[in-house]
Amino acid sequence: MKKLTIYSMSLLAALVVAGCAKETSVSSGVSAKNYFDAWIQVHYSHYPELVPTPLGAYVIEEKEGSGDLVGDYEQSPYILANYVVSLLDGEISSTTYESVAKQLGTYDETAYYGPVVWDRSANALYAGVDEAISGMRVGGTKTTVIPGWLFTGLRYDTPEEYVNNVSGTNQIYQIEIAGIVDDIEKWELDSIGGYLSRHFPEITPADSLKKGFYYVRTQEPSDTTAFPADTTIYINYVAKRLDGQAFDTNIRDTAKFYGLYSSSSTYEPVQINWSGTDEDYTAITMGSSSNSSTVIDGFAYALWNMRPHEAGTSIFYSPLGYGSTGSGSKIPGFSPLRFDIYIVDKED
């Protein structure tokens, strides 16, 4: 017969106490709250000063920062944050810290580690996470046990409404506030401006071909005539974040250098297809006619401005890239990107 651990017995007792006063049915939300409250009682009963936040979360550790107060959305519409997220059993599910990923054995040299932008507009953040950061200051850290019913983009007036209307997984958020961003567009453009001054000092912010887009020709074309509609060309390319890490390429040696190499990839010039009208760069696709896909606007606009056998570097802000959501572990939201493109002949 298996023995119950002290933890299991304590949690069971707490649940019994919470649920045996009346033999009446309860909603799933109330049951979830009873479980959460019992877990807190078992693990933090030795913290008599521990009280729930207005929405029902518990702050178990906090170090106040010396910077600006986060406050509400009007005060801080965008936050730069680092975090470690874990389940109640201690299993870490995600982190922005490279050191933590290495300790867990989940480190990926191609992934992005560092502060990410949290957008607070239109209730984009979970209610429980937004409540946790609202009282923090830049430079501060806070560890909060957040109940599952607060993992929603909806907003209610009372904790009871969250309990009755939302279900989710209880999680522990360890958050560090790295900065506050008032104007996300200006923040991205300033990032690009700094990058240009370091890598392409001959280019200034005034040299953009359109808002948030810069192009530097690195090899003269063999012909200055624009490609007509329904043209097929071939390119090699390297796509990078502005921290220098490549996240995509069709060049074998480059893929190996940046940890992107896959034995299943052919690493040959990729087909680019013009379609639509001469003025519609958004109709550009990548891949064979039977297996083509659209490309992000910044990539397409760079190609549209290039000529036969030209090589160039395009740098653009996230509205022309992967926007506020980013793409997987390699590209966080609100990331300006760099694409190095080489128009080449098709390999025989």
Q: Do residues 233 and 343 lie in contact, with contact meaning Cβ atoms separated by under 8 Å? A: yes
Give tens-digit pLDDT for 276-310.
666 788 889 999 877 889 999 999 999 999 999 99
Same domain assignment for residues 189 and 333? yes
Same domain assignment for residues 31 and 82? no
Q: Do residues 151 and 126 lie in contact, with contact meaning Cβ atoms separated by under 8 Å? A: yes
Same domain assignment for residues 151 and 231? no
Last residue of a domain, one of 32, 48, 64: 48
CA distance linking residue 112 with residue 335, whole number of Å: 11
H runs (alpha helix) in the chain: 6-19, 28-44, 98-104, 127-134, 159-165, 184-199, 252-257, 297-304
pLDDT of residue 276: 65
Last residue of a domain, one of 182, 217, 247: 182
Q: Name, in order, each residue with C-beta under 8 angstroms of 323's C-beta and a sequence gap of 6 or more.
A: 333, 334
Last residue of a domain, one of 126, 155, 182: 182
- Shortest CA distance to 315 belongs to which of 284, 336, 332? 336
Domain with 170 in it: 51-182
pLDDT of residue 57: 98
Residue 93 class from Cβ within 10 Å (0-12 exposed, 13-18 middle, 19+ buried)?
exposed
Same domain assignment for residues 199 and 329? yes
Same domain assignment for residues 198 and 164? no
122 three-state secondary structure: helix
Same domain assignment for residues 202 and 325? yes
CB atoms closer than 10 angstroms to residue 4: 11
Angle at which helices 28-44 and 6-19 cross, to 10°? 130
Same domain assignment for residues 328 and 198? yes
Same domain assignment for residues 205 and 307? yes
Average pLDDT, stretch 194-200?
A: 97
pLDDT of residue 27: 66
Same domain assignment for residues 235 and 285? yes
Q: In this model, does residue 153 exceed pLDDT 50? A: yes
Q: In this model, does residue 52 exceed pLDDT 50? A: yes
Same domain assignment for residues 86 and 216? no
Same domain assignment for residues 189 and 298? yes
Q: In this model, does residue 259 exceed pLDDT 90? A: yes
Number of domains into which the chain is organized: 3
- Shortest CA distance to 311 belongs to which of 230, 238, 262, 254? 238
- Shortest CA distance to 337 belongs to which of 251, 199, 239? 239
User: Which position has the token pair 């009372």?
Assistant: 158
Same domain assignment for residues 119 and 260? no
Any idea which of 41-45, 110-114, 146-150 has the lowest mean pLDDT? 41-45
pLDDT of residue 49: 85
Give tens-digit pLDDT for 224-250.
999 988 899 999 999 999 999 999 999
CA distance linking residue 196 with residue 207, whole number of Å: 11
pLDDT of residue 280: 80
CA distance linking residue 77 with residue 83, whole number of Å: 18
CATH number at residue 157: 3.10.50.40
